[in-house]
Structures are given as structure tokens and as C-alpha cells.
Amino acid sequence: MNALVWRLHHRQVWFALGALGVLGVLLVITGVVMADDYHRFMADCATLQNCGDASSTLFRGDGAIIDVVGATLVVPLLFGLFWGAPMVAKEFEDGTQNLVWTQGVTRRHWLGTNVGWVFAAAAVWAGSMSLLVSWWRTPENALDTRFGAFDIQGLVPIAYALFAVALGIAVGSVIRRMLPAIAVTLAAFVAVRAVIGFYLRPHYMAAVVKVMALGGAKSPGGAWVLSAGLVGPNGHFYSGGIDIQDMPAACQVAFPGGKGSVLSCMVAHGFHQSVTYQPASRFWAFQGIEAGIFLVLAGALVALAYRMVLRRDA
């Protein structure tokens, strides 16, 4: 059975290895250059005791490679579309699974072997990609929050890849038509990722709320800021800043006097800043939580695929 799986899928394997090799060479070459630029810049600004805004000074000419790295976000989905969805759906669509099942191979063994190999391939590819991207982004992570590239580094790319493959297999076992299975896998993967990324992820752990005087320091470096704005004396939150008509009358009069006059007036009338954020120290905890969610979903989808293949008529 293992030899049959290899004969059926060896081209996809070689293509995936080739793509990973090209990506690896590209990231290693550009990563070394970017790391060298980063260390040289930090050494110079340490000597001058003024680094300024390093994040806007460094890597300004590296937009193309940054876009390539950002595009690795879609790689887990590709596993689901081109490895997971066709694996079962195409066999049922062509009827070739019947030949295997009449050669002494049980449905359970057939599905288990296919799932095992495609899971292993997806995990190795996604894990290698994540290691490369995490290493490549080391200078950027030092300058900015790692939460900004949460989806393409660390543990979660592996979990996304396994979820995408399991989703494709499960959808294919239900629909049993390759193209519809690919379309449904695409829609379902994007929907699940969006719901978890936008609505669940910010609440994995209780956010920290920091209240500061106007003009004071912002949230700690590397933090994932969920919301920031002004809070009035009555507790009203102004997320997009405050319009002049919302200022106390005395501060509206002070407005022509300059920023300092306005700030002093606003402070005197009880206005302050509020920032809600997730600390940078929670990055790996969030990675573990989200990876766990997608692995549980992947397990449930594989169980569904087994149920559909073992209990439904071929």
C-alpha cells in the first residue's frame, strides 16, 4: 500500500520539495543580508545613542521579498486544495478505490495509509517553512510585534496545514466529487481561519488595560494593541481620537494656543489615555492555544472522513 501511495503521489512530493528548496535558498540569502543590515544599524545607532524609528528606516527596499514571505500564509490552504480534497474525492469520482478494496486492502487500511502519508508530508513541509520564516523574520520581530506575523511563523503553520488537509479529506469523503470538494474546502478554510483569527484569537487570554496620562508612554514594546484612544471624565471612550466639538468648552478656546495648551486643558478636565493589549510575552501561549484548536478540528475532521468512508457504500 505504501508503494502504491508513492507511485500515485511522487510527482506532488518532488514538486513540493523543489518549491521548498527554492524558498529556502531565497530566504537564506536575503535573511543573511537583512540580519547583517540590522546588526550594523543597531551598532551605529547605539554609538550615536539615537536609533530613531528603526522599523521605518530598515528594510525599506525589501518590499518584494517581504511580500513573498507574507504570501506563505496561503501555503497550508494549498495542501488542503491539492493534497487533501482530491485524495478521497478523486478516488470515489473515478471509482478506483473499488480496485484497491478488492485486492485484500481494507477501507480502514486504505484510508489510514493515505491520511498518514499526506499528514506527514504536510507537517514536514509546513514545519520547514515555518522554521525558515521564523528565522528570516528575526530582525523584524526584534523591531516590531511578532503578533503582526502570527500566522506565518511558530507552531500555527503546521496546525493550519494539518487542518487544511483534514478538511479537504473530510469534504471529499462527503461530496465525492473533486472540483466541488476543492471549492468547499477553500470556502470553509477561509471562513474558519477568519472567525478564529479575528474573533477568537484576541480573547485567548484576558487583555491588559493600561491607563496613562495624555501624552504618556504607549503600550510595552512588541505588544499586540487591540484598541487605543482617549477616555473622558464620564468614562466615554474615543477610539478614533476626539473632535474639537467633543472637547470641554475651555479646551476649545485653548485649541488655537497649540498642542501643549490643549493637552494641559484636557488633563485638567479628567481626560486620559487607555490602551488595551496582549503583551508580547504571550506570543507562544497564543501559538499553543491556536495550534491546539486547529489540531482538534483536524482530528474531528479525520474522524468524520473515516465514518463516511467506512459506513457509506462505495
Q: For residue 24, which of 122, 125, 120 has the smallest C-alpha distance?
A: 125
Q: For residue 118, which of 7, 4, 14, 9 has the smallest C-alpha distance?
A: 9
* Over residues 252-268, mean pLDDT: 66
pLDDT at residue 43 greater than cutoff 70 = yes
Task: Give the contacts of 140 (CB within 8 A, at least 6 positions apart).
Answer: 55, 59, 149
pTM: 0.84
Note the helical H segments in the chain.
2-48, 54-57, 63-71, 75-79, 85-94, 97-101, 107-136, 138-143, 156-175, 178-195, 249-254, 259-268, 283-311
Structure confidence at residue 229 as a pLDDT band (50, 70, 90)? confident
Which DSSP string do the residues of 240-308 spell out, in sequence order? T---GGGS-HHHHHHGGG-HHHHHHHHHHTT-EEEEEEE-GGGHHHHHHHHHHHHHHHHHHHHHHHHHH
Where along the chain do its domains lie?
2-205+284-311, 208-278
Separation of alpha carbons 227 and 233, rounded Å: 19
Tell me the percentage of the chain whose pLDDT exceeds 90: 33
Query: What is the rounded average pLDDT for all residues in the chain?
Result: 81
Per-residue model confidence as pLDDT tens digits over 135-144: 998 888 877 7
pLDDT for 206 equals: 94
CA pseudo-torsion sign 22, 23, 25, 29: positive
Query: Would you give the DSSP letter of residue 237?
Result: E
Count of Cβ atoms closer than 10 Å to residue 218 Cβ: 13
pLDDT for 4 equals: 52
Rounded to 5 degrees, what are φ and ψ at 238?
A: -105, 95
* 96 or 155, higher pLDDT: 155
pLDDT for 3 equals: 56
Separation of alpha carbons 228 and 119, rounded Å: 41
Rounded to 5 degrees, what are φ and ψ at 283?
A: -55, -50
* Over residues 2-9, mean pLDDT: 54
Alpha carbon distances (Å) from 247 to 39, 252, 259:
45, 6, 13
Lowest mean pLDDT among 172-181, 184-193, 208-217, 252-261: 252-261
C-alpha cell at 19: 518549491
Per-residue model confidence as pLDDT tens digits over 125-171: 999 999 999 999 888 887 777 888 899 999 999 999 999 999 999 99
Per-residue model confidence as pLDDT tens digits over 265-297: 777 777 888 888 999 899 999 999 999 999 999
Which DSSP string do the residues of 127-142 spell out, in sequence order? HHHHHHHHHHTHHHHH
